Amino acid sequence: MEPVARIATADTVDTVELAAVAARTFPLACPPSVALRDIAVFIDANLSDVRFTDYLADPQRLIFTTSDEGRITGYAMLISGEPDDPDVQRAVDIRPATELSKLYVLPSHHGSGVAAALMQAALTAAADRGDGCVWLGVNRKNERAQQFYAKSGFTVSGHRSFRLGAHLESDYVMVRPFTR
């Protein structure tokens, strides 16, 4: 059966479960050089059930989830609005632009089509809103993610720094324009 991504709302998603999926999947995208303590601090500050409740209430954000037998298997988050990072502003010259802030899938569902379903849902939503492009940041060492994004039509257009605890990471900024 083909995975289906659905827009999450405060009424339809268990934020505790979503936060647990985030806590399991975020470390997979981090380079081995990042301290586990820094990853834990980031998760506590940005991926808790309280934060997801806030994200779901934010009209600038859309969260998509996939599930298998009623359990969340992956999620993606779009954030609309102008990028505030000067490096991202230089790299993303199409407006309006939306950030694909998160796209994570449980390891047990890698290769199952879940990531592709989440990506398609996010791209469709952004295009339907009239966005000119979707952009994302991906760690330069995360080649698997870069390959997936390239297959989804994203190209590297610049770079940005991403603070993860005491560590400053170097990300590519990738952009997927929409043709009109």
For the domain that residue 72 is a member of, what is the CATH number?
3.40.630.30
1, part of any domain = no
For 158-176, the DSSP string reads EEEEEEETTEEEEEEEEEE
**For residue 10, is pLDDT > 80?**
no
User: Which residue type is seen at 157?
Assistant: S
Per the confidence metrics, is the pTM higher than 0.85? yes
Residue type (1 letter), 138: V
Q: Encode pLDDT of 105-125 as tens digits.
A: 999 999 999 999 999 999 999
Pick the more confident residue, 177 or 9: 177
Instruction: Give the total number of structural domains in the chain.
Output: 1
Whether residue 97 lies inside any domain: the answer is: yes
Evaluated on CA atoms 166, 154, 85, 101, the torsion sign reads: negative
Query: What integer best gives the mean pLDDT of the chain?
Result: 94
Residue 1: per-residue pLDDT? 61
Q: Is the pLDDT of residue 180 over 80?
A: no
| C-alpha span between 177 and 7 (Å, rounded) | 22
Decide which of 25 and 9 is more confident.
25
In terms of Cα–Cα distance, which of 12, 104, 10 is closest to 50?
10
Residue 140, in any domain of the structure: yes
Burial of 52 from C-beta contacts in 10 A (0-12 / 13-18 / 19+): buried
Residue type, 133: C
Q: Which domain holds residue 137?
A: 6-177
Q: Using a pLDDT cut of 70, give the percent of the chain over it.
A: 98
- What's at 35, amino acid-wise? A
Counting Cβ atoms within 10 Å, is residue 11 exposed (0-12), middle (13-18) or buried (19+)?
Answer: exposed
Instruction: Kindly give the pairing relationship between strand 133-139 and strand 97-105.
Output: parallel
Count of helix runs (H) and strand runs (E) in the chain: 6, 7
Q: Within a domain: residue 68?
A: yes
